[in-house]
Amino acid sequence: MPSHEIAARVLDGKWVRDQIFSELKPRIANLGAKYRPPGLAVILVGHDPGSEIYVRLKVKTCDELGIYHELIRPTETVATGELLGIIEGLNQRDEIDGILVQTPLPPQVDKGEVLRAMDPGKDADGFHPLNVGALVENIPGPRACTPQGIMEMLRRYDIAIAGRRAVVVGRSDIVGKPMALLLLHANATVTICHSHTSNLAEETRRADILVAAIGRAGLLTREHIKPGATIIDVGMNRRPDGKVVGDVNPDDAKALASAYTPVPGGVGPLTIAMLMANTVEIAEHRLGFA
């Protein structure tokens, strides 16, 4: 397979994140001046190392942007009923616009019941079944942060979507499924692949836009990539040496793609950026600013 002649463009998630933040700041200031700052409540159960890092970053970002935040840390042994009580309390509080339940949750907690208990109008992650339904119908509502961030990246880098073939590798509720729907609404022709897809390379080689979100380090290599494709690598896999790598072999992405997201520094910064954007949008809607 010939290598792509033009050097692949690096899609910088930090650049996109900083653009989004610069647009959010005046909106946050306007809310604060006229009524109050947006408010986000984060529920963190247990001591998962990845969750601890993510939540610290979310809290730090709220501070930098001027978003009011509360971190609620129930004990690791919390029962589903106790967690539902906490969520119901947050549902009732006027100064809390967005609620986020950090996953994974301990095994004794019914994740589905917890998500369904949240006021869909305060669902900062876009995971409530009513908001998922809104995404399917393409009507307004909070969207899953990572896929929505990817759409922002494609838009801000002027990467065409309409009429192009998009392949999403991975079918999770958090990334794969909402990503496929967002691309479909943008008029791409979308294929979803997963662990039971036969001849994965044959499917992915058709992709003008390839989204890798399967959680397996370096799974996608040269044989999976169409020369000139745009590659969005959502994978965040930690190797035994501690290095974080994506789902796509980076050397093959650089050699063949027209544009690709590095890991780290590509998709990662967008997730928190869109969480903040969702929180601000919810606050504007609740306070009559939208």
Cβ proximity of 110 and 81 under 8 Å? no
Active site residue 92: no
Active site residue 63: no
Element (H, E) at 98: strand 98-101
Distances (CA, A) of 262 to 9, 232, 248, 249: 10, 8, 9, 10
Residue by residue, DSSP assigns 152-203 as HHHHHTT---TT-EEEEE---TTTHHHHHHHHHHTT-EEEEE-TT-SSHHHH
Give residue 279's Cα distance to chain centre.
14
Which one from 58, 122, 177, 226 is the annotated catalytic residue?
Answer: 58
**Residue with tokens 């009732």, as numbered in its chain:** 92
Which one from 97, 102, 122, 226 is the annotated catalytic residue?
Answer: 102
Active site residue 148: no
Which one from 97, 122, 123, 125 is the annotated catalytic residue?
Answer: 125
What tokens appear for 257 in the block? 């793609």
List residues with catalytic annotation.
58, 102, 125
